[in-house]
Structure 1
Amino acid sequence: MNSVKPFDKVLVHAYKQNGSLYRSWEKAIVFKEDEEVLILINEDVVITEFNGRKWRTNEPAIWFFFKKEWYNIICMFKEQGINYYCNIASPYIFESKTIKYIDYDLDIKVFNDGSYKILDLKEFNRNRISYSYSRTVIEKVWESVDKLKEKLKKPTKYFLHEFAQDLWEEYKKMKTK
């Protein structure tokens, strides 16, 4: 991995299997990195969709990019509580100050009470045919869905509100120094 330091600003690019850029996030902030995960902060970030539409994030978020897992997790601080959005995706790579991954369509939205909903099944089924997802990719996608469902049954730190709140408080303290 290219070197990143806390408070570096990076781009995040989500691609589709065919290599086309699907979505881009500007100026995400590197917060921490260890052997398992790269943690970014999204505060007032501009997102550009594949069709050119731009919008700005409404709430602060912590984004967990795992180095060996086929998903990433966004922890969003909403008015009604903490929600999580899990993107089923390839492990990321980092080059030219950009986090890059392939989005495999399926997402899991986790609500403040721990309940969840699997999203975009039709899109996954459509794209697995049109982009010719390999058997390995399809197996990795479903394996990741199962892993996340297990982690939601017995929440790991990435789905614990206290962990997210502690990270956010640590970020705010470091930001003011």
Structure 2
Amino acid sequence: MHVPKEGEFITIKSYKHDGSLHRTWRDTMVLKTSECSIIGLNDHTLVTESDGRRWVTREPAIVYFHTKFWFNIVTMIREKGVSYYCNLASPYVLDDEALKYIDYDLDIKVFPDGEKRLLDVDEYEKHRQEMNYPNEIDIVLKENVKILVDWINEGKGPFSDEYVDIWYKRYQQLSRK
């Protein structure tokens, strides 16, 4: 398995619990890799939905993936301020094709004013029944919602004030090369 280097581009693929492809992002620039995490950036990135519909991201977004936590974080840099879209998802795996994870429907959105919303609870319950999510997954996801809310409240990791400045500047430096 090739570990991507800073400035290289990777594909990101999300799947559903039943193994079906959910969404693909092409050409995410890698900003940092470590033993347990990858930070990247999407900027006008092509996204393909499972039904074949395609669209392009509108604003720069820093993406954070971890091998131990059951969530990933998308930091969207917008004119009206930074907002976050946090996907409750399996830890990522990386192979020669893409960075891959299972999307478990639940999301937390954090608005520029700090308001937090838990989204897609109905979708989670529907898919939990249809795809027979094991009870262990349900417990892990609910625990990771708590961890994520703590990170948000404490300004930890991607929610720190410095995070956007550091990683967006790094993206700009790598883009100029």
The bucket for the TM-score relative to the shorter chain is: over 0.9
Letter paired with 1:104 = Y
Alpha-carbon distance in 1 for matches of 2:36, 2:10: 19
Q: How far apart are 1:35 and its partner, in Å? A: 2.7
Within the alignment, does 1:88 sit opposite 2:88 as a pair?
yes
Letter paired with 1:106 = L
Runs (4+) of structure 1 moved beyond 3 Å?
Answer: none
Q: How far apart are 1:42 and its partner, in Å? A: 0.4
Q: How far apart are 1:23 and its partner, in Å? A: 0.6
Decide whether the 8 Å contact of 2:25 with 2:47 is kept in 1.
yes
Q: How far apart are 1:174 and its partner, in Å? A: 3.0
**Equivalent in the alignment of 2:62:** 62
TM-score, normalised by the number of residues in structure 1 = 0.95
**Equivalent in the alignment of 2:165:** 165
- Percentage identity across paired residues of the two chains: 37
Q: Which has the higher contact order (CA 8 A, sep 6+)?
A: 2
Decide whether the 8 Å contact of 2:71 with 2:87 is kept in 1.
yes
Q: How far apart are 1:107 and its partner, in Å? A: 0.3
Decide whether the 8 Å contact of 1:82 with 1:161 is kept in 2.
no
SS across alignment from 1:132: coil
TM-score, normalised by the number of residues in structure 2 = 0.95
Q: How far apart are 1:70 and its partner, in Å? A: 0.3
**Equivalent in the alignment of 1:127:** 127
**Equivalent in the alignment of 1:107:** 107
The count of aligned residue pairs is: 177
SS across alignment from 2:64: strand
Q: How far apart are 1:162 and its partner, in Å? A: 2.6
RMSD: 1.2
Letter paired with 2:69 = E
Q: Which runs of 5+ in 2 are unaligned?
A: none
**Equivalent in the alignment of 1:78:** 78
Alpha-carbon distance in 2 for matches of 1:14, 1:149: 22
